[in-house]
């Protein structure tokens, strides 16, 4: 049975505050492959918590989807990260996610193979993995949370690296890890 933290609502961001959710599950093969890439890091996914409490992320299968905030029944832990933004940044971040959702961007399975084989050149254009979607939305080309070009291609950045990028940025508020009982 899942712990009580998945029954409660995910925190709903204030206007002009972006919230990441970094969950981990050990129950599916894709999550295990991602965690192997990260040397058994604590997270295997990253998604955006929207102002209405819904979740937007890239999923296999399905691609970029909006999920109800209580859709996740398999995660064993989660970490929330708040990123305060200006109104303009928030507008661009939200519009970018909504655009990817409306365009039905698919999941980039080839990029996951790139994780396994440490080959950053494996990627399908106009397809995304969870971390690439979120990094793209926060990059210098969209909401400009990160104002400099990144040294890695977005499809080569895993969820743990996104969490570490947030931890290194003093503007971020990292909430304590929540686990199932």
Number of domains in the chain: 1
pLDDT tens readout for residues 19-32:
999 988 766 666 55
Helices 87-102 and 130-138 pack at an angle, to 10 degrees, of 140
Q: What is the spatial distance between Cα 113 and Cα 124, in angstroms, rounded to a whole number? A: 11
Range of the domain at 162: 4-179
The predicted pLDDT at position 1 comes to 29
Q: Among positive and negative, which fits the CA dihedral 156, 29, 65, 48?
A: negative
Residues facing 55 on adjacent strands: 49, 67
Of 135, 141, 138, 130, whose CA–CA distance to 108 is shortest?
Answer: 130
Q: Write out residues in the chain with pLDDT < 50, as ranges.
A: 1-9, 39
Q: What is the spatial distance between Cα 96 and Cα 168, in angstroms, rounded to a whole number? A: 24
- The pTM (predicted TM-score) of the whole model is 0.83
Domain of 116: which CATH number?
3.90.1720.10
The predicted pLDDT at position 30 comes to 62
The predicted pLDDT at position 173 comes to 92
The predicted pLDDT at position 156 comes to 84
The predicted pLDDT at position 126 comes to 87
Helices 29-37 and 109-117 pack at an angle, to 10 degrees, of 40
């Amino acid at each position: 049975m899942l712990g009580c933290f998945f029954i409660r609502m995910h925190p709903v961001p204030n206007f002009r505050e972006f919230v990441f959710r970094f969950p981990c599950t050990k129950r599916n093969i894709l999550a295990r492959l991602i965690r192997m890439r990260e040397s058994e890091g604590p997270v295997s996914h990253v998604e955006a918590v929207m102002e209405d409490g819904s979740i937007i992320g890239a999923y296999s299968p399905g691609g970029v989807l909006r999920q109800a905030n209580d859709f996740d029944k398999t995660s064993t832990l989660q970490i929330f990260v708040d990123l305060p933004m200006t109104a303009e940044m928030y507008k661009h971040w939200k519009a970018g996610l909504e655009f990817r959702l409306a365009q039905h961007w698919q999941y980039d399975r080839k990029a996951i193979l790139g994780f396994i084989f440490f080959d950053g050149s494996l990627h399908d254009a106009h397809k995304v993995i969870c971390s690439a979607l979120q990094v793209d939305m926060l990059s210098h080309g969209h909401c400009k949370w990160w104002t400099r070009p990144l040294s890695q291609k977005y499809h080569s950045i895993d969820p743990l690296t996104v969490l570490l990028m947030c931890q290194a940025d003093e503007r971020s508020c990292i909430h304590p890890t929540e686990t199932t009982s």
